[in-house]
Structure 1
């Protein structure tokens, strides 16, 4: 068996050497390593990789400080009580195929996005039109997070020739400072500098992305200098890299929360008292300090401090209380059996939890959760799968529990994401599952037309409701760990994970 594995690895290396290898000009190439695969050119599905690699751009962009700023739209104005938006489109911009950016091209791209799943589905768009250098978006009713929606990777603007007759992206041509040179899903994307970029042309000529599933292998790539930027380091690698003379480790809090997603209609989980009991059984402080290794990153609510409108400053902290957790479970008719597992009507309180190795700390956290929930009589079986298994099992109805890390800041304002979560009772791929609340829906409806002061008060009410009902269970606020080779100057970190911002970096002389 070992011999067969060795032969397979050897054959793979030979194929790479003779069929796929291309000489790399190391002096002019920056290499990025990360854990996530991409499988297509579909912006609705994998658009994140094309905006991070600065191939595709949207009308609006999220700045590192969370502010929304013009990008392909230079400005906008609103009339008709918030139902009509006019966007002035930047001139002298060209797609990577040489075609000019026009209002018609913008409308074509947005129309394709509207035909596919994504946050734009929640925008009540009734009509798109052009006039001169402007694009007009007409809404059926006011929609506060429209700008945030138009900053999302799924609404990036591509050349009309990027699409086939059915609206599928078959040859991705954006407007960014880099254009695709080699596209080899699911592991490799090489891009090269776009010399006709309308803004400052990047100093770094080539940018290569390579997917690496094993966190320890990515750390070794950083240590050896094979990669210049490595995202999503595992805690075990930090000490080694922090002692390196050639690498800096950058740690940044991001608006991403580690949560337990669950089927709220499962017969074991369909009461909020049970969900609160599971939450109360968790030692968040221990997980934050000893597994994630970021003390005080424990989360008792969904929204981190960076999302200030939504973050609850005085949230009640449901700290670990095993006896109270057991009592809550037993109040639902469960009794502790001789083997230490709760039973009810002949069934054991046993559930499956799915997680994925793309974020290396999740599998370790899952093991800790397994041990902690067993202390209150809940048996957890862990399955480690690809990240794509989470939405697939959600739609199949086979998901019981899932441990995930969810980005609440990819649209700057989480309202756009939450509207997608609550569009149906079934929920969304990475949000809650089989749960709805008419009170929450009404709060979101009010937020679309609220003033800034009213908006914050409504957001606090919504966050309190989610903290009480726990359709998902928050666990920890996420800290991104990045290894940065010392030859890279002006490293810029995007806490919203939309853009690697390599065009702003340069190599040391």
Structure 2
């Protein structure tokens, strides 16, 4: 066995530094109070830089946090579909769907929303967003009348209505764009209207839409400040700079929750921390090595000591209580002996006694990329590196900007990449299983290809009985559970941090990160 204790001490030291840094910046007593707060204004500390306000490109801010634009379809808490800007839909034949639109919706410029606007928005999203184009797989969009739209898909697409819940399919007025299709400003239909966006300060401001078809919203204005650093978000909520934020360092949640005037709400959400594995790399292209990595990870310990119980150990890609999850799967339990046996069987042994396995003169040394916007990632990467060190795999964590990670993956210059991914933005298992595990999946960063998986996914598209569809998807889950092209660590826990005076918040489990709602208000 290979025992390396340094990683554990490094993890503990890092967590202590984070705690002392935040605590040292603020008095440990009451939270700060802003003297300039407007009782009808919400200031939100957003976890991402605001890189775009174009709904066709951005799934994180303009739809879910700013509430400027809306989609044709929404969901209920149980992930069943519900009406949005569309009141109803029906499948006319294998490839044709009819959508009936609300007739009482106005854009923020005062014009009526019609089927022409919906056609324009969807065609624009398809042309500008590869994932939207792939998921919709549209052959044509036809306006039947002002409030009826026909969508014909190139192939059978039983999840089309669910795809139209995806934020990048949100509806905008054609006056939102210039003659080349570039966004001028988003003119949507939502409860709040675009007011301004300062790229230099990373601040987006929206104001109440008094003519919203859904009724009266609770705030006059929402100011969204991009704050990608978790420590900055923690300081901002404590000092009174913001009224609402999310995912402060998990080691700080109990302390912050104990402060007067602030409360923390924790949710396990449909998002999973997963390690993408570069299958083009020697060693990692061996299923036994990937299984050994999975057996080396102590998921229970990571949830308890890294995530501070904001999350749960993961087995398959879906939460166990989701109707389409394969409930026979259990999280891999840490088993160093099993990991050791698998690596030895694969030919990876320590021939020179330096504690690192090797084969044919090559050391089993890997990089593990991650980013810091989500507070659990850097300490999780350190913990995983320490645990893999115990079985003779040398892992070097690298904390990078998310864009740099994508570039490295594009170049093929990477081994492992740790990030959390949403699993319910389209409320159907096909969304995740196709994008992650099919040969041409848009999120298949490992380059995984299994003809049986492709065949099973393709077969589901000709099945209308949901139980039969789910049974085939369960088979896919079992195959990838055994082959581990992506190593699932834990289901994501989200920590919502807000002032006590912020009322009316309702957590939405289908959101990309979190979604604010029109019913929120400030109570002084």
Give yes or no for TM over 0.5: yes
Secondary structure of 2:225's partner?
Answer: strand
- What is the CA-CA distance between 1:25 and the residue it aligns to? 5.2
Residues 371, 402 of structure 2: 8 Å contact kept = yes
Any conservation in 2 of the 1:120–1:155 contact (CA below 8 Å)?
Answer: no
- Quick one: structure 1 residues 44 and 386, their matched pair in 2 at CA, closer, same or farther if it must change by over 3 Å? farther
Q: Select which of 15, 31, 46 maps to 2:43.
A: 31
- 1:393 matched to 2:408: yes
2:357 aligned with 1:355, yes or no? no
1:417-475 deviation per Cα after TM superposition (whole angstroms, max 9, x unaligned) = 432335644x434x442111111112112222320120221121111112111110000
Among candidates 413, 437, 449, match of residue 450 of structure 2: 437
The number of residue pairs the alignment matches comes to: 483
Give 1:89's match in structure 2, choosing from 81, 89, 101.
101
What CA distance in whole angstroms lies between the structure 2 residues aligned with 1:170 and 1:437? 44
Deviation at 1:226, TM superposition (A): 2.4
Does 1:252 find its partner at 2:267? yes
Give the TM-score taking structure 1 as reference length. Answer: 0.91
Contact 1:265 1:435 in 2 (8 A): no
Q: 1:316 to 1:213 in 2, by over 3 A?
A: closer
Q: Report the alpha carbon displacement of residue 495 of structure 1 after superposing the two structures with TM.
A: 1.6
Q: 1:20-65, CA deviations, whole angstroms, 9 ceiling, x for partnerless residues?
A: xxx9652111111132112123334323211112111111112333
Contact 1:68 1:148 in 2 (8 A): yes
Q: Residues of 2 paired with 1:414 and 1:317: CA distance?
A: 19
* Matched-pair contact (CA < 8 Å) for 1:254–1:306: no
Task: Indicate conservation of the 8 Å contact 1:193/1:204, yes or no.
Answer: yes
2:230 equivalent in structure 1: 215
Asked if residue 500 in structure 1 is aligned to residue 512 in structure 2, the reply is no
One of 145, 149, 152 as aligned partner of 2:159? 145
Q: Please point out which of 245, 252, 259 is paired with 1:237.
A: 252
Aligned residue number for residue 79 of structure 1: 92
Distance in structure 2 (CA, Å) of the matches to 1:295 and 1:424: 33
Q: Following the alignment from structure 1 to structure 2, what is the Cα–Cα distance between the partners of residues 420 and 319?
A: 27
- Name the structure 1 match of 2:461: 448
Are 1:61 and 2:90 matched, yes or no? no
Judge which range, 366-375 or 213-222, deviates more: 213-222
Do the aligned partners of 1:280 and 1:322 also contact (CA within 8 Å) in 2? yes
**In the alignment, is the contact (CA less than 8 A) between 1:216 and 1:237 conserved in 2?**
no
Q: TM-score, normalised by structure 2?
A: 0.88
* Distance of aligned partners of 1:104 and 1:295 in 2 relative to their CA distance in 1, 3 Å threshold: closer
Taking a change above 3 Å as real, the CA distance of residues 461 and 357 of structure 1, as seen in their structure-2 partners, is: same
**What is residue 50 of structure 1 aligned with on the other side?**
62
The C-alpha deviation readout for 1:151-202, integer Å capped at 9, x for no partner, is 1011111111212333332321111111111212473211111122112121
1:369 paired residue number? 384
In the TM superposition, residue 308 of structure 1 has moved relative to its aligned partner by: 2.5
- Check the 8 A contact 1:55/1:176 in 2, yes or no: yes
Counterpart in the other structure of 2:418: 403
- Counterpart pick for 1:465 among 454, 474, 479: 479
Question: Measured at CA, do residues 152 and 172 of structure 1 come closer, stay the same or move farther in structure 2, by a change above 3 Å?
Answer: same
**SS of the residue 1:148 aligns to:** helix
Equivalent position of 2:169 in the other structure: 155
Look up the SS of the partner of 2:312 in the other structure. Answer: coil
Q: Distance in 1 between matches of 2:389 and 2:340?
A: 11
Q: Secondary structure at the match of 2:59?
A: helix
Match of 1:102 among 94, 98, 114: 114
Aligned to 2:344: 330
The alignment partner of 1:74 has SS state of: strand
- Provide the secondary structure at the position in 1 that maps to 2:334: coil
* Structure 2: runs of 5 or more not aligned: 1-34
Cα 1:399–1:43 shift into 2, 3 Å: farther
* Distance (whole Å) between structure 1 residues aligned to residue 311 and residue 45 of structure 2: 28
C-alpha RMSD of matched pairs (Å): 1.9
Q: Which moved more, 1:89-98 or 1:154-163?
A: 89-98
